[in-house]
Amino acid sequence: MWAPALFCYPLGMNELPDPEQLEQLAYKSERAASRRLALAHGLSGDQALRLVLEQAAGQAGLATLVSARAARRAAQDERDAARAFQRAADKAKRAAAHDGRPTAWRAWFDGSARPNPGQCGIGAVLKGPDGAAVELARPAGYGNSSEAEYRALIAILEAAVEHGVGELTVYGDSRVVIDDVNGPDAFAAPSLAAYRATVHQLAARIPGVTLRWVPRHKNLEADALSQRAAEHPHA
């Protein structure tokens, strides 16, 4: 138990650290110990916490303890701020990669297979200047989800060629297809090689094509069209 001599302070109250600062710098275990001490000796919460921290400081003194912990807290705050800044920068970078520079023509595609593999449905939207728009929603035979995605991409590129589209940005939420089309030949999926070749052939007929990945919530229109086509293959 704490000795009564510990309740005496050599400094005037104005020279003591601020109680609110002590509360912020105290560890959870120290705050719990101060509550027990206050109950046992009829002290105020501030008095009890100060005694606990003085005991923790030892010969170095309370001011030294407060200074050291405040420095650690400031350093941690700096690290937290740096991490928050980096997260925000990474998020902005990802958004820029998803959105890119706007082009006059834009397209979204999606494909689904039920089950997987199973009956495929494809959906796609092509939008141009002055409100021009093309929607595709149709069954696409049997296959897996990646094949369905590729068939949707091919269909919208064929529509773009047919409409004489110039510079075009195409968005999809399939990382498999996006990475396969954009990646080097050495890392292309052998099972999707024929689809990849067709996409490259069609893209070569359009003045400028950029293929970008977007999260599913930014591809809802094409997704809904592909789901409708998969649900009603004979519609």
Instruction: Determine whether 114 is exposed, middle or buried from the number of CB atoms within 10 Å of its CB (0-12, 13-18, 19+).
Output: middle
Q: What is the pLDDT of residue 231?
A: 76
The tens-digit pLDDT sequence of the chain (235 residues) is 444 344 334 434 345 678 888 999 999 999 999 999 999 999 999 999 999 999 999 999 999 999 999 999 889 988 988 888 887 776 665 555 555 567 889 999 999 998 989 999 999 999 998 787 899 999 999 999 999 999 999 999 999 999 999 899 999 999 999 999 999 998 899 999 999 999 999 999 998 899 999 999 999 999 999 998 887 665 5
Alpha helices in the chain (DSSP H): 19-25, 28-41, 45-57, 62-99, 145-162, 175-182, 193-203, 220-231
- The pLDDT of residue 149 is 97
What architecture is the 99-231 domain classified under in CATH?
2-Layer Sandwich (3.30)
Check if the beta carbon of residue 155 is closer than 8 Å to that of residue 177: no
Tell me the C-alpha distance between 14 and 25, whole Å.
Answer: 19
Structure tokens at 151: 């068939």
The number of angstroms, rounded, from the C-alpha of 23 to the middle of its chain's C-alpha atoms is 35
- The whole-number pLDDT of residue 120 equals 94
| Contact by Cβ (8 Å): 62, 17 | yes
Q: Check residue 54 and give its pLDDT.
A: 93
Q: What is the dihedral of CA 91, 97, 103, 109, to 10 degrees?
A: -100
**pLDDT for the residue numbered 201:** 97
Q: How far is CA 216 from CA 117, 135, 147, in A?
A: 20, 18, 18
- Domain locations in the chain? 4-81, 99-231
> Nearest Cα to 198, choosing from 163, 160, 157?
157
